[in-house]
Structure 1
Amino acid sequence: MPAHVSILQPVAVILLALVTAAWVTVVTGILRRRRFQAAARRAHRPPSAPPDLPGLPDQRQAGPELETVELTPAEKDAFAGLIRRLDRP
């Protein structure tokens, strides 16, 4: 080892390599566990179910209630006139 190199430099390199190896090991384990859990969820889901998209919130199964408005005879005539005008080429 050269005389101008402090003992702290090779120790820091070794420590950095160990921390990197530990980080890679932990991240790999987390990704494997998530992949296994996703596969288990897909196996238990009925085939007609939508795909699992974890980034989206759960959707309502039923839509909103239908709203209706009764039109007056004058509004019905105006709407019919509008439709006739739009039907012309």
Structure 2
Amino acid sequence: MPEHVSILQLIGVGVLALATVIWVVGLVRLLRRSRFEAAVWRHGDTLMAIPPQRQSGPGAESVELTPEEHAAFAGLVRQFSDSPRF
């Protein structure tokens, strides 16, 4: 034991070292347990509250425009294409 170090300092270093070892062991166990639980959930059944996904999207919708609506839409397209861009 060094002469310039008090017994309280030596005990403090020992306690800190022991606390560090306990913390590291606890952290490793926690990470392993969470990894195991994630692996079990990944390979297990899906949740029953979530409905199965559809294999295809919704059907395409279309609306026939009257000649007046078609002309109005063409006017809007011309108006927006002629406007200056910033």
TM-score when scaled to structure 2?
A: 0.57
1:78 to partner: Cα distance: 2.3
- Matched residue SS, 2:2: coil
1:44 Cα shift? 1.3
The alignment covers a number of residue pairs equal to 67
Mapped to 2, the partners of 1:10 and 1:80 lie a distance apart of 87
Task: Name the structure 2 match of 1:23.
Answer: 23
Structure 1 residue 2: Cα displacement: 3.2
Q: Residue 41 of structure 2 aligns with which residue?
A: 41
Paired position in structure 2 for 1:11: 11
RCO higher in 1 or 2 (8 Å CA, sep ≥ 6)?
1
Whether 2:57 is the aligned partner of 1:82: answer: no
Identity of aligned residues (%): 54
Q: Which amino acid aligns with 1:78?
A: A
Q: 1:80, CA displacement in angstroms?
A: 2.4
> Over aligned residues, Cα RMSD in angstroms?
3.6
Measure how far apart 1:45 and its partner are: 4.7
Q: Which runs of 5+ in 1 are unaligned?
A: 47-60, 62-70
Structure-1 separation of matches of 2:43 and 2:16: 41
Partner secondary structure for residue 28 of structure 1: helix
Q: TM-score, normalised by structure 1?
A: 0.55
* Secondary structure in structure 1 of the residue aligned to 2:3: coil
Gap runs ≥5 in structure 2: 47-52, 54-64, 82-86
The CA deviation at 1:16 is: 0.4
- The whole-number CA distance in structure 2 between the counterparts of 1:17 and 1:3 is 21
